[in-house]
Amino acid sequence: MKTVLLAGGRGVRLRPLTYSIPKPLLPVGERPILELIIERLKTFGLTDLVIAVGYRAELIETYFRDGAQLGVHIEYVREVEPLGTAGPLALVRDQCDLGPDESLLVMNGDLLTELDMPQVVDFHERGGHDLTVVTREHLLENPYGVIERDGDRILSIVEKPVVPCTVNAGVYVFRASTLDLVPSQAVVDMPELMNIAVAAGRDVVAYPFDGPWLAIDRIEHLTEALGVVTEADA
pLDDT in tens, 119-177: 999 999 999 999 999 999 988 888 899 999 999 999 999 998 888 899 999 999 999 99
Whole-angstrom Cα distance, residue 115 to residue 171?
9
Which domains are seen in the chain, by residue range? 2-135+167-233 (3.90.550.10)
Residue 136 DSSP one-character state: E
Whether pLDDT at 75 is above 90 = yes
Q: Which residues lie closer than 8 Å to 201 by C-beta, 6 or more apart?
A: none
Q: What is the largest CA-CA distance in the chain?
A: 68
- Determine contact, residues 108/170, Cβ cutoff 8 Å: yes
For the chain, percent of residues with pLDDT exceeding 90: 64
Q: At what angle do helices 57-64 and 33-43 cross, to 10 degrees?
A: 50
Mean pLDDT of the chain: 89
Distance, first Cα to last Cα, the chain: 30
85-114: pLDDT as tens digits = 999 999 999 999 888 999 999 999 989 999
Predicted local distance difference test score (pLDDT) of residue 13: 65
Instruction: Give the pLDDT band of residue 215 (cuts 50, 70, 90).
Output: confident
